[in-house]
Amino acid sequence: MNGEVIFCPKWHRAFWFLLFAVPCFLHAGEAEITCRSCQPGSKWRGKELLLKFHTSESATGFRGQVFGNSERRFGAASAETPRLSCAVGSAECARARVEYPETSLKRNTRDLRAKGELGQSEFTQMKVSNVSTSGQKKNGRVEGVRRRARRNSHGDKLGSPRSAQNQDRGEATGTVAGRRVTRSELRWSGEERRAAGPRQEELKLNSSTFALTGDSSHNQAMVHWSGQNSSVILMLTKLFDFNLNSVTESSLWRSTDYGATYQKLNDKVGAKTILSYLYVSPNNKRKIMLLTDPEVESSLLISSDEGATYQKYRLNFYILSLLFHPEQEDWILAYSHDQKLYSSVEFGRRWQLVHERVAPNRFYWSKMGLDKEPGLIHLETSITEGQALYVTCKLQNCTDANKGKPFPGYIDPNSLVVQDEYVFVQVSAGGRPIYYVSAKRDVFTPMKLPKYTLPKDLHVISTDENRVVAAVREWNQNETYNLYVSDTSGVYYTLALENVVSSMGPEGNVMVDLYEVAGIKGMFLANKRTDNQVKTYITYNRGRDWRLLQAPSKDLRGNSIHCVLPYCSLHLHLHVSANPYTSGNIASRDSAPGIIVASGSIGAELTTSNVSVFITSDAGNTWRQQIFDEEYAVLYLDQGGALVAIRHTPLPIRHLWLSFDEGRQWNKYSFTNTPLFVDGVLGEPGEETLIMTIFGHVSHRSEWQLVKIDFRSIFNRRCIEADYQTWHLHNQGEPCLMGVKRIYRKLKPTSRCVMGKTYSVTMTSAPCDCTEADFECDYGFERRTDGKCTPAFWFHPSSMSRSCTTGMTFLNSTGYRKVVSNNCTAGVSAEYTARRQQCPIQAPKGLHLVTSEGSLTAVLGTNVTFLVFLEEGDGARTSITLDFGDGHALTYSNVSSIEDGIKHIYKAVGIYRVTATGENSLGSETAMLYLHVTCQLEYIHLSAPFVAVRNKEVNLTAVLWPSQVGTVTYIWWIGNNTEQPVITLEGSVAYTFSREGINTVTVQVSAGNTILQDRKTIAVHEYFRSHLLAFSSNLDEHNPDIAEWRLDVSRVIKNSLIQATGVREDQLLVTVLPGLPTAAEFFLLPDKQITEGKPEKSSAHLDQLSELLLSALNQNLVQFTLRPGVQVTVYAAHLSAAPLVDTSENHSGSAMLMLLSVVVVGLAVFVIYKFKRKIPGLNVYAQMQNEKEQEMSPANPTVATPSSQQDLVHSLEILDTEFNSRPIEY
C-alpha cells in the first residue's frame, strides 16, 4: 500500500502537487504521475513516440495523498527532437517510475499563490513527450529523480534551480528559486492570532506531536508509509549542501505506531553511512531498498522486514533509475550513468550486465499473455547519432544469438514505446516522421491518420481499453493539439476533438489539457481553444460528443450567477503551467464516483484571475462554488466519505476544515495547540484514509515536527445500509451513457459515519438500445454539421478491403464504428455496424516500395532491406517481383511472404533503379525507387600546374580515392573569385588566368555525408624559364615525402641558389616534386624593368640568368645543410621536362612547361577514364523462387582493390608521385 503524502514545502506561493510516497503508485489501472525520464525519456517519447497519462487516482494520491510543493514536476525530459515518448503519466513512466521514489519535504516559507487553486497533488493530467504513450500500468520504473521538498539550512532561502537540478544526478527536480520572506509575510492572520489565545468551544482533532531531535539542519526529507494495514512509516532526512552539490548528512527514522513516535536507525545502517534515496518493491511493500550517496560510497542497503534491519551490498556502477518487474518482486532493471542496463533477480543483491548503449528510459518488462516469456526485456539501443534499434532479449542471457529484432530496420532515437498490448516506433523518411504500431506483438504497420493530417508532433496519450488515444500537432498548429482515437488494432485513427490546449511543462514536456475522471468510465474533461478563447468541455462517451460546463447558479455568498450557455460557462484548470505558481488542479477518486474537486473560473473563457474552488457531486452536471476565499488544498478521507481542506499559506496554521456532505458545509477543527509552518501531509495508504501525519516546524530553525491526526474520533459510528442512497449517473438527464444505465450506491450527504476498509463502490448497470450517439465516424469518414458520417474527399471506401483474400469475407464499413467499451445492444446496431461481405476480386493497387531505413542511399557491401506494401488487392494471390537493378531479381508468390522485408547486397557503387511489381490475374502494379549505393570517400588530390602561362587554358583535376564513391559534387574556388564558386558534377575544369600573379585554387568534393578539400597555388606569368634539379643521394634518406617537408626544403634550396648566384629573390621560384628519388624544379622570371615587357629582351635576359644558375650548379656551388652532418649538394638534371624557352611569337614562356602540362592532363584523363563510374545495367535476371530468401552475399566490388596493405601503400605512393602538389617558393 502506498502512503499519502501531502507536501506543501516552503509555501512561498507554493505549487501544490501530488507527490506520491514511495510505494504509492503501482496499482493497475490507476493514474500516474509523470516522471522526468519518460522522454522516454520520456515515450511515443516523437522528440520524441513518448507517452504518459495522468489519471485522477494519482492526482488525488491514490494509495496515499501528497500535497504538493512547488517541486512537483510533471513531464518527461525535455523533448529532444520529436520522438515517440512514453506518455507522461503512463503507467510505465509514471506508476512504475514514481512509485518508489520517496516523497520529499521542504521547509515552508513560501508566500501565497493565486486564490482558489488546488494542490497539484490532487490533479490528474495527460502528459506527453514526443510521441508519448501511457504505458505499462503494472511496471514500476523508478527514476533517479526524487520529488523533494527542501528547506534551506539557512532557514528562509531556497537553493537555486541549478542547485536543485545538480543535486539530483543531473535530473531536474523542479525547485524554483525562492526569495527571502519578509517579516510581514510571516505575521499570523487575525484568525490564527485569535486561535492562539483562550477560546471557548473549539472543535479539536485527536492528535499527537513528535519532534525529530537532532535534525534541525536537515533541509530535505523523504517519507514512506509501508502499506495498507501497516503501521510502519519510514522517513529519510538529509542535509544537502548546495555549495558542494551533495548530501553531507542523513538520518533514517522509523515509526511502528502510525507516526505517533519514531526511532532513529542510523546505527543500523552505519553511523557514517550517508543515504540518498529510498525505494520500495511494488509487489511486496515489506522490501525496502536504500541507496547511499555515490560521492561517498556506492552501495545498497536492503531490508525485508519493513525497514527494521538492513544488509549492505557494494555496487560497481551508479544507478540513475530502476524498473521493477510488475509481478516478480525480486526482479529489477537498473540504468546506469554510462548508458548500461543491469538486471537483478535477487532484489539488488547481485547484478548482471544486460546491454550497453541503451537509450534512457527505453527499456520495458515483458507483458504476460503477449510476450513469449516473463523474463523478456524490450529495449532500444543506440547505433549512431541518428539511428537506433529495437531489440528484445532474455533477462539473464542477452547475447547476440538470443536477441530478437521485432522491427526490420533502424528506428529514430528515443522513439520506442512498449505499452500494454501496443509497441510504437518512429522512422523518419524524407524529412517526415512515419509512426509504426504493433498490436499484440504482431507485425508493425504504419499508423493511419487522416491523409492530410501531416503531423509535426505526435504523443500517444492512452492505450486503455484496447484502443489508442493520440495527441497530434498538425502542420497548421503551433500551440494546440488534435485528439485522435484508434480502432482496436491501433492503426486507423479518427478525430475526437480539435485544438486542445497544450503548454510546456517545467521539464520541457508537452502538457495536453485532457483529464480522465476517475470512477466514471468514458468521462473526460478537456480545454479547447476556440476563437482565441480557452473553454472547458466535457464528454461522457470517450470523445464522441463534447459540451460546455454549466456554471453554478449561485456564488459562495448565495447570490445568483447570470451565466448563459454558450456565451458563459464554467472553465477548469487541467494542466501544469510552466509557471508553477499559476497551475490549476483537479481531483477525483474511484472510490467516490461523481465527486470532482477543481479550481477554475466562470465567464466566456478560462482565466488565471478570479480563480475559485468548485465541486460537483453528480459527475459534472451541476457545480457548487466553495466558501474558501483563500487558497486551500482538498483531499479525500474515508474513501470520499469526507473531504479535508488545508489552507495553502506561508503562515503558521493550527486549523483545517472538514466536510461530511460532499463539500456543501465545512467545519473548522484545530489539529495542534501551537501554530505550525506546514511542510506536507502524509495520509494512510488506501482510499479509506483516516490517519494523517502533518509535517512542519514551529520556527525556521527547529526540528521537524510530525503531528499525527486520527480522524476516527470525529465519527460517531460505522455506516450501515440505511446511510447509503442510490445515484443514477446521467448527462443532463440522459441516463444511457456508453450504452448502459449505471446506478451507484453512495453515502448520503446527511450521514456522518465511517465507511471503513470493507467498503467498496457498488454499481449496477443495464444495457440500452443502441442509438447513433453510440457510434463514432470510422477511418476515412468525417462528421458533417447534420451529424452524419460521410467519406472524406481523399478517401476511397473500397481501399478498406485491401487485406482481403478471394473467397474470404471482410467487414465493409458503413462509415461508423461503435465507441470502444460501449455496451449498447440492438437498436440501430445493425444499421451502423460494418457488414460482412465477400472479398472482391481486384487488381493490385497502391503498391509501395521503401527501404527499412526510409533512405535512398546505401553503403557498398552492406545489407539493404526493402519493404513492399500493397494497399488494395488480394495479397495472398498477388505475386511480388523485386528487381534490384544490378542484374538480380527475386519473385515471391504473395505479399505476406515478405512482411519482414527483402535483403540484398550491392557489389558496386552506382545508382540503381529498384522496381517492385505486384501481379495477379486481373492486372499489375509497379513501384520504383532509385537507390544510391556509395562508399566512403577517403582522400582527394588536386592536380594542377605549378606555373601557368597567362591567357593559356589550364586543366584542373580532382582525383579521388577510391575512385568510385557514388554521386559526387565538386565545388571550385579559382583565383581571386572567392565569393562565387563553380559547382560541377565532373572532376575536371578548364580555366584561363588573364592576369599575372599568384592564384589559389580550392576544390571541395562532397560525397554523401563526407566533404573533403584540397588547395593548390599557381603562379601565372607571361615569360619564364625552368630547369629540373637533382640532389645527392643522402637527401632521399631524410625525405618523408609529405607536403610540409617539400615546402621547407624548397625554401632552403631557393636561398642556396640566391647565395651562390646573386639572383634576385623575386625572379626565382623553386618547388620540390613529390616522390623518390628527390627532384625539384626552378623557374626564372624576367626583370620587368630591364626587359620593358618586350619578348626579345625577356628571352635574352632569361638566357643570361639560366646560364648563371646552370654554371653554379655544374660547379657544385649550390649546397645546404639539412641537419648536422648531412650536407646536400644540388645539381642540374641532365634532362629537362620541356624546352627552356617559349619561342612563340607572343610568348617566350617555356615550351618544356607546356609539354609537362600536357603530360599531366593526359595522365589525369587516363585515370578518370580508367576509374570512371559505370552505370549499372538494367537487364533483369529473373531468378524465380517461391520461398522467401534473404541474400547475404559478401561484398565483392568489381573495381580492383589493393590486395594487401603493402599494395595500398604503394598505390598511394604512385598517386602522390604523379598528382600531388609541388610547393613553390617565391
577 — pLDDT class (breaks 50, 70, 90): very low
- Give the pLDDT score at 512: 87
Average pLDDT over residues 764-790: 91
- Count Cα neighbours of 10 within 13 Å in the Cβ-side half-sphere: 30
pLDDT digits (tens, 9 = 90+) for 487-499: 888 999 999 999 9
Lookup: cell for 985: 558534377
Residue in the structure block whose three cell numbers are 537509450: 359
- Give the pLDDT score at 584: 42
pLDDT digits (tens, 9 = 90+) for 245-299: 788 888 999 999 888 899 999 888 888 888 888 888 888 888 999 988 887 888 9
Average pLDDT over residues 51-55: 29
Say if residue 853's pLDDT is above 90: no
Q: How far are the Cα atoms of 107, 156, 651, 694 from residue 211, in angstroms, in the given order?
A: 14, 20, 20, 12
Best-predicted range by mean pLDDT (444-448, 687-691, 1133-1137) = 444-448
- Give the pLDDT score at 555: 84
774 — pLDDT class (breaks 50, 70, 90): very high
What amino acid is encoded at 1008 in this protein? G
pLDDT digits (tens, 9 = 90+) for 1132-1190: 987 543 333 333 334 434 444 454 554 455 555 444 444 443 333 333 332 333 333 33
801 — pLDDT class (breaks 50, 70, 90): low
Among 513-527, 886-900, 919-933, 1175-1189, whose mean pLDDT is lowest? Answer: 1175-1189
- Give the pLDDT score at 83: 42
Average pLDDT over residues 563-567: 92
929 — pLDDT class (breaks 50, 70, 90): very high
Higher pLDDT, residue 1039 or 51: 1039
Cα(148)–Cα(146) distance, rounded to whole angstroms?
6
Cα(163)–Cα(152) distance, rounded to whole angstroms?
12
pLDDT digits (tens, 9 = 90+) for 376-398: 999 999 988 888 999 999 888 88
Cα(910)–Cα(534) distance, rounded to whole angstroms?
56
Cα(663)–Cα(645) distance, rounded to whole angstroms?
10
- Give the pLDDT score at 396: 81
Residue in the structure block whose three cell numbers are 542484374: 887
Higher pLDDT, residue 311 or 115: 311
Cα(288)–Cα(329) distance, rounded to whole angstroms?
11
Higher pLDDT, residue 181 or 797: 797
Q: Between β-strands 85-86 and 132-133, what pairing exists: parallel, antiparallel or unpaired?
A: parallel
Higher pLDDT, residue 426 or 96: 426
Cα(75)–Cα(41) distance, rounded to whole angstroms?
9
Cα(845)–Cα(969) distance, rounded to whole angstroms?
38
**In the predicted model, what is the mean pLDDT of the chain?**
75
965 — pLDDT class (breaks 50, 70, 90): confident
Residue in the structure block whose three cell numbers are 492570532: 193
- Give the pLDDT score at 109: 39
Say if residue 864's pLDDT is above 60: yes
HEC sequence for 76-100: CCCCCCCCCEEEECCHHHHHHHHCC
Phi, psi of 98 (to 5 degrees): -85, -15
89 — pLDDT class (breaks 50, 70, 90): very low
Cα(568)–Cα(161) distance, rounded to whole angstroms?
40
Cα(344)–Cα(969) distance, rounded to whole angstroms?
53
Average pLDDT over residues 59-88: 34
Average pLDDT over residues 436-448: 90
Query: What b/e readout covers 566-585, taking b as 16+ CB neighbours within 10 angstroms?
Result: eebbbbbbbbbbeebbbbbb
Burial class (CB in 10 A: 0-12, 13-18, 19+), 1030: middle
Say if residue 1121's pLDDT is above 80: yes
For the chain, percent of residues with pLDDT exceeding 90? 27
Higher pLDDT, residue 762 or 517: 517
841 — pLDDT class (breaks 50, 70, 90): confident
- Give the pLDDT score at 623: 94
For 29, other C-beta atoms within 10 Å of its C-beta total 14
Say if residue 899's pLDDT is above 70: yes
Higher pLDDT, residue 1139 or 941: 941
Average pLDDT over residues 514-529: 91
- Give the pLDDT score at 95: 33
- Give the pLDDT score at 431: 76
pLDDT digits (tens, 9 = 90+) for 1056-1089: 999 999 888 888 999 998 888 999 999 988 877 6
- What are 1052-1060's contacts with CB under 8 Å, separation 24+? 1052/1120, 1052/1122, 1053/1029, 1053/1080, 1053/1082, 1053/1118, 1053/1120, 1053/1130, 1053/1225, 1054/1082, 1054/1225, 1055/1120, 1056/1118, 1056/1119, 1056/1120, 1056/1130, 1057/1082, 1057/1109, 1057/1112, 1057/1118, 1057/1130, 1060/1112, 1060/1117, 1060/1118
- Give the pLDDT score at 280: 86
Average pLDDT over residues 25-38: 28
Say if residue 711's pLDDT is above 60: yes
Say if residue 508's pLDDT is above 90: no
pLDDT digits (tens, 9 = 90+) for 116-140: 333 333 333 333 333 433 333 334 4
Q: What is the pTM (predicted TM-score) of this model?
A: 0.67
Cα(957)–Cα(984) distance, rounded to whole angstroms?
12
Say if residue 39's pLDDT is above 50: no
Say if residue 920's pLDDT is above 50: yes
pLDDT digits (tens, 9 = 90+) for 975-994: 876 678 899 999 999 999 98
DSSP state of 549: B
Lookup: cell for 582: 499559476
- Give the pLDDT score at 1151: 44
